[in-house]
A and B are shown apart, each in its own frame.
Chain A
Amino acid sequence: MRRADVCVVQIAECFRDDADILCNPIGISPIIGGRLAKATFANEVVMTDAVSVLAANIIPLGDETAERVVESYVPYRTIFDIVWSGRRHVMMGATQIDQFGNQNIAAIGGYEQPKAQLLGLRGAPGNLINHRTSYWIPKHSTRSFVKGVDVVSGPGYDKMRSLGAPSNKYHDVHRVVSNLGVFDFLTPDNRMRIVSVHPGVSVEEIREHTEFEIEIPEILEESRFPTEIEIDLIKSIDPDGLRYSEVDDE
């Protein structure tokens, strides 16, 4: 059992309670985890084939020739309509995330004249204010789990508190999955807290790799191992083992 497989299962777990929504994971491990959830405990969600249709069947990662059972046509314009309808749970990456869940994928060194221009805001501002969002961060470090983000692409709970109701009514940062553990914001002031540590990871290790003070729950869970059925499914979704290129084993 390798760390990447545990991560994929924990990504899938983010979508466990979802039904009749667009499950929209972005990135290698998120797509594997999302498809795993759809193949097992979240089979009422719909997913794109990464081009322009919703595919009812489970497609192997990056297989452009795989047969698709097309259940609906969703060009980009329809994706935005779905975002605004709220029937969507996105999982995005984050170059930086802070303790309230503010996410930066835009730029390092500010937006005026960035030291490093990254992806930009992309759809993050609209995603966060309209529907549930989770994050996947394959390299948990003091550079990615930071005290303050350089640019706010996806706003976190502190920004939503100052914004107030009713504008913040659909904001919902569900979970953050990293290569070290799983995190949520279910604390009185919505600061990030540990949900579970991956097998072989200590709380100390997470603290050392996090620039801000992270909340530790009274009862600390360990992230579960995949079941045999899940292992087979993960292999069929990611036959080339691309997930291992994203996650180090230690």
Chain B
Amino acid sequence: MPNKILTEEEIISEIKDGMTIGVGGWGSRRKPMSLVRAIIRAGIKDLTIVSYGGPEIGLLSATGQLRRAVYGFVSLDSIPLEPHFRIARQTKSIIASEFDEGAFYLGLLAAAHRVPFYPTRAGLGSDMLNMNPDLELVTSPYADESGEYEKLVAIPAFEIDVSLIHMNRADKAGNGQFLGPDLFFDDLFAMAAKKTFMSCESIVETENFPTYGSVHTLKIPRIFIDGVIEAPLGAHFTECPPDYGRDEEFQKLYASTAKDTELWNKFKSQFLDLGSHSEYLKSLDSFKESQ
């Protein structure tokens, strides 16, 4: 089996200005935060993020690296409205491509299956079509029981250059294992992108996967993974059960920086302007000790 272990630098060198990045997880749950912080550190700009959005959209808006967000929603879960994202929307500093949550799944699925679109009723009659003037309708080639040809919304395949996902366990060949209650759409993110990089809580021997979870948890096959990196607490401050829950106190601190430039600058120098994920963990430790 191949060895796909990469360094943070090697992964980041694959991400260029103007690229479209798919980010796995959901809201403030199992987000590949160490890799998002690495993008911030590298100053890569004009990015498009495609995600069930959480703090990655807020953070990259706040640092000015986000050009466009394609999302089903943007939320921190326990804080329903992502405060940095709200500001970005209200000041129109980013382009927003908002989809119905289920329709978003079909954009990923179409990309994963290499078809131009998947049809759905979702969006008909709502402002989703007005918000996304590029969305087109398709007419079913098949008549229904009353002889009608139904019109449906064609959700286009999301074009994703690089996807980033975070798993509980992985092996060095790039097989990933999720141990929490929901895979979310991480397998589709991996299939939809030209390249996918996976961080994980720990890299384990392939034969040891069954000691952590049943075969049903092995949902990321290595054929969709181009690089793997061990990043303990890599999803912090989002949750990564069963390894750890959401750091609610830290999330509150992050949220509070949206309305106060001084707090944001302090947060940025303490937790973002750092050389590596291990420096982040050290900074987090000393922050926790001071609390």
Q: Which A residues form the contact surface with B (CB < 8 A)?
A: 51-53, 75-77, 80, 83-84, 106-107, 111-126, 128-130, 151-155, 159-160, 162-163, 165-168, 170-171
Known interface pairs A107-B89, A120-B74, A167-B151; A125-B183 also in contact (CB < 8 Å): no
* Min distance, Cβ A156 to any Cβ of chain B, angstroms: 8
Q: Is the CB of A168 within 8 A of B125?
A: yes
Of B85, B86, B92, B122, the residue contacting A126 (CB under 8 A) is: B122
Q: Is the CB of A119 within 8 A of B146?
A: no
Residue of B nearest to A123 (CB): B101
In the assembled complex, the Cα of A164 lies from the Cα of B88 at a distance in Å of 37
Interface check B204, CB cutoff 8 A: no
Cβ–Cβ < 8 Å partners of B144 in chain A: 166
Q: Is the CB of B81 within 8 A of A124?
A: no
* Min distance, Cβ A61 to any Cβ of chain B, angstroms: 15
Q: Is the CB of B127 within 8 A of A130?
A: no
Cβ–Cβ < 8 Å partners of B121 in chain A: 84, 126, 129-130, 167, 170
Q: Is the CB of A113 within 8 A of B89?
A: yes
Those of B179-208 within 8 Å (CB) of chain A: 181-185
Residue of B nearest to A103 (CB): B126
* Min distance, Cβ A7 to any Cβ of chain B, angstroms: 21
Of B91, B96, B125, B185, the residue contacting A77 (CB under 8 A) is: B185
Interface check B99, CB cutoff 8 A: yes
Known interface pairs A84-B120, A119-B73; A125-B128 also in contact (CB < 8 Å): yes
* Min distance, Cβ B115 to any Cβ of chain A, angstroms: 17
* Min distance, Cβ B27 to any Cβ of chain A, angstroms: 10
Of A52, A107, A116, most B-chain CB atoms within 10 Å? A107
Of A52, A80, A159, the residue contacting B101 (CB under 8 A) is: A80
* Min distance, Cβ A194 to any Cβ of chain B, angstroms: 25
In the assembled complex, the Cα of A171 lies from the Cα of B126 at a distance in Å of 12
Those of B234-265 within 8 Å (CB) of chain A: none
Cβ–Cβ < 8 Å partners of A80 in chain B: 101-102, 105
Cβ–Cβ < 8 Å partners of A124 in chain B: 100, 126
Interface check B80, CB cutoff 8 A: yes
Cβ–Cβ < 8 Å partners of A116 in chain B: 86, 90
In the assembled complex, the Cα of A218 lies from the Cα of B90 at a distance in Å of 46
Q: Is the CB of A121 within 8 A of B100?
A: yes
In the assembled complex, the Cα of A128 lies from the Cα of B151 at a distance in Å of 16
Q: Is the CB of A126 within 8 A of B100?
A: yes
Cβ–Cβ < 8 Å partners of B151 in chain A: 167
Q: Is the CB of A76 within 8 A of B26?
A: yes
* Min distance, Cβ A46 to any Cβ of chain B, angstroms: 17
Interface check B75, CB cutoff 8 A: yes
Interface check B150, CB cutoff 8 A: yes
Q: Which B residues form the contact surface with A (CB < 8 A)?
A: 26, 71-75, 80-81, 85-86, 89-92, 96, 98-103, 105, 120-128, 130-131, 144, 146, 148, 150-152, 181-185
Cβ–Cβ < 8 Å partners of A115 in chain B: 90
Q: Is the CB of A155 within 8 A of B73?
A: no
Q: Is the CB of B181 within 8 A of A52?
A: yes
Known interface pairs A84-B120, A113-B90, A170-B121; A152-B127 also in contact (CB < 8 Å): yes
Of A51, A117, A165, A171, the residue contacting B81 (CB under 8 A) is: A117
Q: Is the CB of B102 within 8 A of A84?
A: yes
Of A118, A125, A129, A163, most B-chain CB atoms within 10 Å? A125
* Min distance, Cβ A84 to any Cβ of chain B, angstroms: 7
Of B85, B99, B121, B148, most A-chain CB atoms within 10 Å? B121
Q: Is the CB of B102 within 8 A of A113?
A: no
- Interface contacts beyond A128-B125, A166-B144: sample of 7 additional A-B pairs, CB < 8 Å, sorted by A: A77-B185, A111-B130, A123-B101, A125-B125, A129-B121, A167-B121, A167-B151
Cβ–Cβ < 8 Å partners of B91 in chain A: 113
Q: Is the CB of B81 within 8 A of A126?
A: no
Q: Is the CB of B90 within 8 A of A154?
A: no
Known interface pairs A115-B90, A116-B90, A126-B120; A77-B105 also in contact (CB < 8 Å): yes
In the assembled complex, the Cα of A234 lies from the Cα of B26 at a distance in Å of 32
* Min distance, Cβ A68 to any Cβ of chain B, angstroms: 11
Q: 8 A–B contact pairs at CB < 8 A? A: A51-B181, A75-B182, A76-B26, A84-B102, A106-B127, A123-B102, A152-B126, A163-B125
Cβ–Cβ < 8 Å partners of B99 in chain A: 121
In the assembled complex, the Cα of A39 lies from the Cα of B71 at a distance in Å of 37
Cβ–Cβ < 8 Å partners of B185 in chain A: 76-77
Known interface pairs A76-B184, A113-B89; A119-B80 also in contact (CB < 8 Å): yes
Q: Is the CB of A83 within 8 A of B127?
A: no
In the assembled complex, the Cα of A128 lies from the Cα of B121 at a distance in Å of 10
